[in-house]
Amino acid sequence: MLLSQSASASILFVSLSLIMISVTLYHPPGMSIISRLFPDQVERSTAIGLHGASGCIGQALGTISLGLLLAQYGWRSCYLLFSVPLLAWMFVLAGMKIPRWTELPRPSGRETDDSRNGDIERTSHDKSVMNLGFFLLVLSMGINALANNGVIAFMTTYMTRAENLTVEVASIIFGAGPLIGIVGSILAGYMSSRLGDKSALTLICVGQVVFLLGLITVPSAYFATLSFLMYQMFLSGLWTPSTSMVASLMGRTRGGTAYSLFYFSHDALGAVSPLIAAVLIAGFGLIAPFLFGVVLLVLDTFLIQLIRLR
């Protein structure tokens, strides 16, 4: 609402900064609420997959509706109009009944070693928010962001220069990411519910490696387009098993803190990834950040195997 009424560049900057801060703050409590509502691993993975799909649908609808409304009503009216569903959602959230940790039934005794139902309740002597499994998962997500964010930042440049696509075609292909993300999120939820979070996360990383290699090795613009869309699908599905694993590794008692650390690792390393990619391009050529990403994703795949879900 402030953005729609901004009269100077400074107010515009402050308003956009507040929006980005709110987006960052949203995810840790949002994922923590999902882990409360769905303590079972299978149900939680399905719920997170649907959550990710709905986010992709909203992103796609927002972009399309903005394009339709912008020319007719102007950007100020569009921002004011888009604040209405946010206000409505705020009141919906305020009225939701979220179960407290103490209201949830405690397990009857022994911890299981079943990876498919690896949701655990931390015992009273385990006070640390950082255990080995969670540390490895946080490190894994940071490496994944380091590998992928630089690739994504220069994807349209690669498509135009290496694959000889026009800027318009490359932009359309790149813009299909949110749409293919709907499929990726739902597929990841299904894989996690059927195979377990760790196996699903492993397959997603392998899929990223395969289609990123296909993108840069096969000399065909059509195959490169298909490879990018498949790569984007696996990239969108990354969040479903990984966020579910946070709840499995940390239990349900430290969800907010755990998810904050989880997202911080991804965002911090993801922020420097485009800078590293730019340095690699300047020194070794346009293909360098893609090869760098493949190496990191292979390392990430092996790192995930060290995580033990109890």
Q: What is the pLDDT of residues 200-215, one digit of tens each?
A: 999 999 999 999 999 9
Q: Which CATH architecture has domain 3-98+128-304?
A: Up-down Bundle (1.20)
Q: Compute the mean pLDDT over every residue in the chain, rounded to the nearest whole number.
A: 83
Q: Of 268, 241, 254, give the one whose Cα is nearest residue 130.
A: 254
CA 177 to chain centre: 12
If one compares 108 and 83, the residue with the highest pLDDT of the two is 83
**Stated pTM of the model:** 0.76
Place of tokens 């196996």: 199
Per-residue exposure over 139-178, b if at least 16 CB sit within 10 Å of its own CB, e if not: bbbbbbbbbbbbbbbbbbebbbebbebeeebbeebeeebb
Q: pLDDT tens, 14-49?
A: 888 888 888 778 878 888 888 788 888 888 888 888
Residue 70 has pLDDT above 90, yes or no: no
Q: Return the pLDDT at 306.
A: 93
Q: Is 86 exposed, middle or buried (0-12, 13-18, 19+ CB in 10 A)?
A: exposed
Q: What does 280-307 look like in DSSP terms, one character per residue? A: HHHHH-TTHHHHHHHHHHHHHHHHHTT-
Q: What is the pLDDT of residue 41?
A: 83
Q: Pick the residue with more confidence: 103 or 254? A: 254
**pLDDT confidence tier of residue 73, bands split at 50, 70 and 90:** confident
Residue 152: pLDDT over 70 = yes
Domain boundaries of the chain, sorted by first residue: 3-98+128-304
Query: Which tokens belong to 221?
Result: 């613009």
Percent of the chain predicted with pLDDT > 70: 87
**Residue 113, pLDDT above cutoff 50:** no
* pLDDT (0 to 100) of residue 118: 43
Cα end-to-end span (Å), the chain: 46
**Tell me, what's the pLDDT at 99?**
66
Q: Is the pLDDT of residue 143 over 60?
A: yes
Task: Say yes or no to pLDDT of 126 above 60.
Answer: no
CA 109 from centre of chain = 34
The Cα–Cα gap between 185 and 190 comes to: 9
Q: How sure is the predictor about 109, in pLDDT bands with cuts at 50, 70 and 90?
A: very low
Task: Point out the least confidently predicted range of 39-48, 128-137, 179-188.
Answer: 128-137
User: Residues near 91 by Cβ (< 8 Å), separated by ≥ 6?
Assistant: none
Q: What is the pLDDT of residue 117?
A: 43
